[in-house]
Structure 1
Amino acid sequence: MDIIASGLAFAEAPRWHDGAFWFSDMHDDRVFKILASGSAELVCKVDGRPSGLGWLPGGDMLIVSMTDRQLLRRGHDGAMSVHADLSDMIGKRANDMVVDRCGRAYVGNFGFHTDEDEPVAPTILVRVDPDGTVHQAADQMVFPNGTVITPNGKVLIIAETYAARLTAFDIDEDGGLSNRRIWAQFTDGSVPDGIALDEEGAVWVASPTNARCVRVREGGEILQTIDTGQQAFACALGGDDRKTLYIAIADSADREDCRAGRNGKVITTRVEIAGAGLP
């Protein structure tokens, strides 16, 4: 394992895009990118806690602002604007996201406050179209979290963290989701948070509960396990050949603990099967 970023509060939403590695430091309210040279650049500050990242076809960046329940848009000139307001659709914090090649964003949310001892409650998955209009994409989702889309753009796979499963949908021509099914149910103690898809159709899953990143095939068979030493919250496949697995780790997800300890890291390892699809 190599450490490419350390001293972070809490890394989230790792992405490989345009020859660089991008991520949100969710509990430090900032988005960063790391260039091929290894140097880190501050992209922007997001007071509402940044989470999911994605890009529109024209190159503008989308950023989930969690506590504001907004989808922000960052232009080529760095100007920030509100792409969509999600507050009428979701009552708790917005979360991770995937953006398809048409510019449609599928945004998850908590459904309940994890740090206030609220009972687990289902919520909806939201779809934001390129014009900023907001739609319900699916209901009865148990903490919809990390999400991927297959290379042909026809299947969406999403982590339902508190149900310990990956759920798949077919993507219709208009962006609607149908044919809901369980893609993998975890019985080994793993809880899926952030995920990444590879060329063989397997999914890498970051699991904070057992501090590991596992590679799983449809049906639930675990193909590979990487122990991460700290809780693993998100992962991505990147690098020029998409064979570098980036894993975001930390000792805790608690905001105050993370800001005080700053023990969050992004670690990497090489894998045999390249990444595929989105993000």
Structure 2
Amino acid sequence: MTNARILLDGLKLVESPRWHEGRLWFCNWGAGEVIAVTPEGDHEVVPLAADPHTIGWLPDGRLLVVPKDPKPDGKLLRLEPDGTLVAHADLSALPGGCNELVVDGRGNAYVNGAGFDFLEFIKRPDPRPLTERPGYRPGFIALIRPDGTVERQEHDLAFPNGMAVTPDNGTLIVSESFTGTLTAFDISGDGTLGNRRVFADGIGPDGICLDADGAVWTSSGGNEAVRVAEGGRILDRVELDRAPFAVMLGGDDGRTLFICAARWDPQDPFGGGTGRILAAPAPAPHVGWP
């Protein structure tokens, strides 16, 4: 069991943490912000002419931004060195809004989406399993190559969420939050996905990251972050007083686990001011992407 310290508090719904150039960057949903914070807690709001939903960096250092509501024009945006946001890819042909983004070491980006309006869906109480409720649709992953071309990967996913790519660019792992599963795919030389299989199940995964021992940090589905080995064995736990929505390993040696946590209210998902960033020591350093 590991204890976590509070790094930042009083935020909205915090998501999409990324370690980049000595700071943790994350999206503060509900405030329309990207915030960058040091391990000591010094932080700033990063100016972006967009309401960011998730972020990731290309190998050349340019930032990709999925806007909170990419419809109707459906653009994945790219931040140029001069500070301007330009269109990186056209996502309008995808079946719904995009939830998560990960960029691998070759410059391929993967985005996923639920295929339905999650916030409206989750507001309606229903005793049935999530995948059997009215309005549910299987989700998707799409490959965006460095030239901006988009290719939907035909894999039905039960509310795809956080994604990570192994350091050899050979495997993509995605959270299927509605079935409590971490699902793995082989990545071929052209970036397409195949050989779908279960990495771990019996948890409640959301945002994820990988460590050098091959384990995944994610949410247990309750108020704790867990470190999961392939096959599903829980290796470590960090208990919290609210739900972890995403995690990221960083720090100078990659052994600090940063946790985006908040109290979830489906009737007011972006309000409340319960969001916080926490930090805890981790036994193995970060590898792969994000």
State whether TM-score is above 0.5: yes
1:25 counterpart = 2:36: no
Query: What does residue 95 of structure 2 align with?
Result: 90
224, 238, 244: which one aligns with 2:236: 224
CA RMSD, 1 decimal:
1.7
Deviation at 1:41, TM superposition (A): 1.7
1:81 counterpart = 2:86: yes
Query: What does residue 191 of structure 1 align with?
Result: 204
Cα pair 1:159 1:194 within 8 Å, conserved: yes
Question: What letter is aligned with 1:81?
Answer: V
Query: What does residue 219 of structure 2 align with?
Result: 206
1:237-248 maps to which residues of 2 (within 5 A)? 237-248=249-260
Cα pair 2:8 2:41 within 8 Å, conserved: no
Query: What does residue 103 of structure 1 align with?
Result: 107
1:115-130 maps to which residues of 2 (within 5 A)? 115-117=119-121, 119-130=135-146
1:267 counterpart = 2:278: yes
> 3-state DSSP class of the match of 1:115?
helix
Question: What letter is aligned with 1:193?
Answer: D
Q: Residues of 2 paired with 1:61 and 1:14: CA distance?
A: 13
Deviation at 1:231, TM superposition (A): 1.0
Cα pair 2:13 2:29 within 8 Å, conserved: yes
TM-score after normalising by structure 2:
0.88
Deviation at 1:37, TM superposition (A): 5.5
Question: What letter is aligned with 1:229?
Answer: D
Cα pair 2:7 2:39 within 8 Å, conserved: no
Q: Residues of 2 paired with 1:12 and 1:204: CA distance?
A: 15
> 3-state DSSP class of the match of 1:88?
coil
Aligned residues: 272
Residues 160-197 of structure 1 show CA distances to partners (whole Å, capped at 9, x for unaligned) of 111210111111111011111111111xxx31000111
Name which structure has the greater RCO, CA cutoff 8 Å, separation 6+: 2
Q: Residues of 1 paired with 2:217 and 2:185: CA distance?
A: 18
Q: Residues of 1 paired with 2:286 and 2:148: CA distance?
A: 29
After superposition, the Cα gap between the structure-2 partners of 1:111 and 1:237, relative to the gap in structure 1 and judged at 3 Å, is: same
1:236 counterpart = 2:248: yes
Q: Residues of 2 paired with 1:45 and 1:8: CA distance?
A: 18
After superposition, the Cα gap between the structure-2 partners of 1:30 and 1:46, relative to the gap in structure 1 and judged at 3 Å, is: farther
1:41-190 maps to which residues of 2 (within 5 A)? 41-45=44-48, 47=50, 49-68=51-70, 69-91=74-96, 93-117=97-121, 119-186=135-202, 190=203
Q: Residues of 2 paired with 1:124 and 1:76: CA distance?
A: 31
Q: Residues of 1 paired with 2:289 and 2:269: CA distance?
A: 32
Deviation at 1:254, TM superposition (A): 4.1
Cα pair 1:157 1:169 within 8 Å, conserved: yes
> 3-state DSSP class of the match of 2:119?
coil
> 3-state DSSP class of the match of 2:287?
coil
Q: Residues of 2 paired with 1:70 and 1:211: CA distance?
A: 34
TM-score after normalising by structure 1:
0.92
Deviation at 1:217, TM superposition (A): 0.7
Q: Residues of 2 paired with 1:63 and 1:116: CA distance?
A: 24
Query: What does residue 262 of structure 2 align with?
Result: 250
Cα pair 1:111 1:142 within 8 Å, conserved: no
Percent identity, aligned pairs only, is 39
In structure 1, the gaps of 5 or more residues are: none
Residues 82-133 of structure 1 show CA distances to partners (whole Å, capped at 9, x for unaligned) of 2122121122x21111101111110111222222135332021011111111
Deviation at 1:36, TM superposition (A): 5.3
Cα pair 1:46 1:65 within 8 Å, conserved: no
Residues 57-91 of structure 1 show CA distances to partners (whole Å, capped at 9, x for unaligned) of 22110011131143111112221112122121122
Q: Residues of 1 paired with 2:266 and 2:80: CA distance?
A: 31
Question: What letter is aligned with 2:252?
Answer: D
Residues 197-244 of structure 1 show CA distances to partners (whole Å, capped at 9, x for unaligned) of 11110101124x411111111111111222111011000000011100
In structure 2, the gaps of 5 or more residues are: 122-133
